A and B are shown apart, each in its own frame.
Chain A
């Protein structure tokens, strides 16, 4: 906690300049008139040019500036995935599971939802759907079934699965970094409810799609005849990738005990796999890193840093405490539902980037005698972090624009000449979002406030 945050907000010119930059930037991001990365970088540079923040604060201070844990964790994971992608591992897994499902359309949808959920717990959601969607379209063509429900269910499964781990979804990465939570904290607190949610999701698929999905034995035979081993293009690199992935996952599992930040583990994995790949041209692998996303984060962190410094966030947290009267169960529930609805409508990354300092500020006011980890991980504060993570990740299922994974599958389907309308997604996404958030509500209440 810094002394700056604890001081009451001064509603001076600086405050209004920073607040205006923040509101205008978020407004343009939501309107999608200008690419969000450009808006974020411009907003951040305005915070610097207008002396709301100085460059040292923006680049080097944890409380006002860029969260390099998030940036380097993403860089590391993206590099590892970019090196793994061409090996054909993901196609292998998908084809293998379609065969395990005996080529039955309904079973394939269920098993693909599970595969997507598990993969997106380990990779980011966008990567997961980018890997699974092409194989899905391929299998659906083989079976002559409509791929759209499959793609929608995969986007939903990736948002649910990604909630389970620290690395599964950007909100979790951001929350973990701010609250200094470990990979195992996420597994311990979020994985149990995500497993329940996945089981429910599979049940929903079974109930909704059993009467709808049929295919002839001749078409099923096409899937059964596929040789998934043919998808493996580079078995040597595949083994190296799996080795590094195992090292990285072990590293994540023990990073808390070993006193390494998750970003350290990811960066080590990226370096190791780059070395093992023996590539002489790392630039095309590094060029495939999603730099626009990373610059979006960088810009947002600085914009948020500006409004934290001028006290807007502190003022908002006081208002929020006034609403909830310091009732933590009420705050948890409000946070869970508000986050879910907000994330259904806007990008959950800027939302969580704003909520993180707000929650920390609120904690500072509730427990002024605590500092550091004792404050960030105050036993009464923990349910709030989990509520924020569950709300922000699961809310993405609410609408077509709620999560990047949704936008990606819609784009892929459209390129294939199949349009997914806003309402078609809505018809599946919103009931499932409401159901999953409801289950999470019960989970948070039972686990943290009853027992």
Chain B
């Protein structure tokens, strides 16, 4: 099976110039598997090329000051997260999106996708066509579904 057979087609995307505020609105309203709400969106420039991915982790990271480490975060005051979140609401997607693009071509074998997801600790991979345009996203859950279906299709394991 190729990745394009199981990927989810792109329904929405962000622009690098979007604010985090408008980005979270899109994340909350984009529909996936018939339910609104996604944990990540691809970021495309005005020419439609993939320039990054913004996930809920990136949004959280935006609210955590870079100077904070585990020693200092224990000393933080009540309300610090909320205060920091207010400060970054109007900053741009391009500042916080992850720019390290890990993608797969649409005819990539599933093994290559599974390996990339695990090795790179990713939750999702944008799928590119021959013109390097994003045509879909494959989620770790999609590959898990394939593997688990194979398990279930087998005879019950005897121990």
A91 x B72 contact (CB < 8 A): yes
| Interface members, chain A 374-416 (any B CB < 8 Å) | 412, 415-416
The residue of chain A having its C-beta at the shortest distance from the C-beta of B70 within the complex is: A233
> With A141-B80, A417-B91 given, is the CB distance from A228 to B67 under 8 Å?
no
Question: How far apart are B23's CB and chain A's nearest CB, in angstroms?
Answer: 17
**A226 touches B (CB below 8 Å):** yes
B67 x A233 contact (CB < 8 A): no
A138 x B72 contact (CB < 8 A): yes
Write out the residue numbers on chain B whose beta carbons fall within 8 Å of the beta carbon of A222. Answer: 77
Q: Is the interface of B mostly helix, strand, loop or mixed?
A: loop
B75 x A227 contact (CB < 8 A): yes
| Interface members, chain B 63-80 (any A CB < 8 Å) | 65-72, 74-77, 80
Write out the residue numbers on chain B whose beta carbons fall within 8 Å of the beta carbon of A141. Answer: 65, 80, 83-84
**A133 touches B (CB below 8 Å):** yes
Complex Cα–Cα for A233 and B80 (A): 22
A233 x B72 contact (CB < 8 A): no
Write out the residue numbers on chain A whose beta carbons fall within 8 Å of the beta carbon of B65. Answer: 137-138, 141, 416
B67 x A142 contact (CB < 8 A): no
The residue of chain B having its C-beta at the shortest distance from the C-beta of A227 within the complex is: B75
The residue of chain A having its C-beta at the shortest distance from the C-beta of B69 within the complex is: A134
**A95 touches B (CB below 8 Å):** yes
The 0/1 profile, CB within 8 Å of B marked 1, for residues 17-48 of chain A is: 00000000000000000000000000000000
| Interface members, chain A 132-190 (any B CB < 8 Å) | 133-135, 137-138, 141-142
Contact of A233 among B71, B76, B77 (CB under 8 A): B71
Q: Is the interface of A mostly helix, strand, loop or mixed?
A: helix
Contact of B67 among A88, A137, A231 (CB under 8 A): A137
Which bucket holds chain B's interface residue count? Answer: 10 to 19
Complex Cα–Cα for A134 and B66 (A): 8
Q: How many residues of A contact B (CB 8 A)?
A: 22
The residue of chain A having its C-beta at the shortest distance from the C-beta of B83 within the complex is: A141
A134 x B77 contact (CB < 8 A): no
Write out the residue numbers on chain A whose beta carbons fall within 8 Å of the beta carbon of B74. Answer: 230-231
B71 x A91 contact (CB < 8 A): yes
Write out the residue numbers on chain B whose beta carbons fall within 8 Å of the beta carbon of A138. Answer: 65, 67-68, 72, 75-76
Complex Cα–Cα for A417 and B87 (A): 11
> With A141-B65, A416-B65 given, is the CB distance from A135 to B77 under 8 Å?
no
> With A141-B80, A417-B91 given, is the CB distance from A134 to B75 under 8 Å?
no
B72 x A231 contact (CB < 8 A): yes
Question: How far apart are B139's CB and chain A's nearest CB, in angstroms?
Answer: 31
The residue of chain A having its C-beta at the shortest distance from the C-beta of B68 within the complex is: A138
Question: How far apart are B31's CB and chain A's nearest CB, in angstroms?
Answer: 33
A228 x B75 contact (CB < 8 A): yes
Complex Cα–Cα for A137 and B76 (A): 12
Contact of B75 among A137, A230, A412, A416 (CB under 8 A): A230
Complex Cα–Cα for A201 and B151 (A): 72
For B67, B69, B74, B91, which residue has the most chain A Cβ atoms within 10 angstroms?
B67
Complex Cα–Cα for A233 and B67 (A): 17
Complex Cα–Cα for A95 and B83 (A): 20
B67 x A416 contact (CB < 8 A): yes
Complex Cα–Cα for A137 and B72 (A): 11
Complex Cα–Cα for A137 and B66 (A): 9
Write out the residue numbers on chain B whose beta carbons fall within 8 Å of the beta carbon of A142. Answer: 77, 80
Write out the residue numbers on chain A whose beta carbons fall within 8 Å of the beta carbon of B76. Answer: 138
Complex Cα–Cα for A231 and B83 (A): 22
A134 x B68 contact (CB < 8 A): yes
A231 x B71 contact (CB < 8 A): yes
Question: How far apart are A87's CB and chain B's nearest CB, in angstroms?
Answer: 9
Complex Cα–Cα for A141 and B75 (A): 13
Question: How far apart are B52's CB and chain A's nearest CB, in angstroms?
Answer: 18
| Interface members, chain A 390-447 (any B CB < 8 Å) | 412, 415-417
Binding site for B on A (CB under 8 A): 88, 91, 95, 133-135, 137-138, 141-142, 222, 225-228, 230-231, 233, 412, 415-417
A sample of 26 cross-chain residue pairs with beta-carbon separation below 8 angstroms, ordered by A number, consists of A91-B72, A133-B67, A134-B67, A134-B69, A135-B67, A137-B67, A138-B65, A138-B68, A138-B72, A138-B75, A138-B76, A141-B65, A141-B83, A141-B84, A222-B77, A225-B77, A226-B75, A227-B75, A230-B74, A231-B72, A231-B74, A233-B70, A233-B71, A412-B67, A416-B66, A417-B91
Binding site for A on B (CB under 8 A): 65-72, 74-77, 80, 83-84, 91, 95
Name the 4 nearest CB pairs between A and B, nearest first: A134-B67, A137-B67, A222-B77, A230-B74
Q: A142-B80, A230-B74, A416-B66 are in contact. List 19 more A-B contacts (CB 8 A).
A: A88-B71, A91-B71, A91-B72, A91-B75, A134-B67, A134-B72, A135-B72, A137-B65, A137-B67, A138-B72, A138-B75, A141-B84, A142-B77, A231-B72, A231-B75, A233-B71, A415-B66, A416-B65, A417-B95
